Homo-oligomer: A and B are copies of this chain.
Amino acid sequence: MSEDSQIQKIIPLPTIRRMPNYLRVTGDFLEEGKEWISTTDFSDILGLKPIQVRKDLAFTGLAGKPRLGFEVPLLIKAINDLLGWNNSTDAVLVGAGALGSAIMGFRGFAEHGLNIVAAFDANPALVGKEIHGKTVFALDKLENLVHRMGITMGIITVPEAVGQETADLLVEAGIKGIWNFCPVTLRVPDDVIVQREDLSSGLAVLSVRLTEGR
């Protein structure tokens, strides 16, 4: 087996980041009853260069048709497959404050195969409450629930000061992927993946662009 089947190329991170946009636009086309969507459509709507769109979509493995583009339903399935969004992932959220609540209330995640099954918080005043249909539990219930339900993903929305200990708790419980909204660099074992979401970096980019104008 040297050069037979398709070589599983590694997908560039920027390409992965753009995929949800392609998915959203294609979904809009589906709702509008359109059957085909082309590179040109994407580049017009998303403000990207056509070449970049074509390169990105090549990673789906789909073949487009000249003058028509791609079949809308097939493309949606292909992108969801590529992102692993066809099979739903269960997750727990730690930190049921303002940001945690906002994330729990974001309807979009359900379409992205993310199912937040429960929230946890150190604040006794929050324990037992329901936020967007999810119950808030005490932290000492976390390990049991994660184990019992075989949950692999954890979302951290706690204050900076307790970010690392929260990560330790999740790792201890068996979590393999952490979506971290806490502005710290977490130390975790090699087999645990951390995706950090950083609002400050976005603000930094905006600030610089506003002052130096690019």
Contacts and interface: CB of A to CB of B under 8 A. Distances in A.
A124 interface: no
A45 interface: yes
Contact of A177 (B46, B102, B103, B210): B210
Given A152-B210, A185-B47, A209-B177, A19 B204 contact: yes
Interface stretch (A32-40, A50-58, A141-149, A194-202): A194-202
Contact of A201 (B20, B199, B204, B214): B20
Contacts of A204: 16-17, 19-20, 83, 112
Contacts of A114: 203
Contacts of A177: 206, 209-210
State the copy count for this chain: 2
B89 A207 contact: yes
Contacts of A45: 185
A62 to B, nearest CB: 17
A81 to B, nearest CB: 10
A83 B206 CA distance: 9
Contact of A195 (B82, B98, B99, B205): B205
Contact of A85 (B11, B112, B153, B207): B207
Interface in A157-205: 176-177, 179, 183, 185, 193, 195, 197-205
Contacts of A208: 11, 16, 82-84
The 3 A-B residue pairs with the shortest CB-CB distance, nearest first, are A20-B200, A195-B206, A17-B201
Interface of A: 10-11, 13, 16-21, 24, 45-47, 82-85, 89, 97-99, 101-103, 105-106, 108-109, 112-114, 152-153, 176-177, 179, 183, 185, 193, 195, 197-211, 213-214
Given A176-B210, A193-B209, 20 more contacts: A10-B214, A13-B205, A16-B204, A17-B204, A17-B205, A24-B200, A83-B207, A84-B207, A101-B102, A102-B102, A103-B199, A106-B199, A109-B203, A112-B203, A177-B210, A179-B202, A179-B206, A195-B203, A197-B199, A197-B202
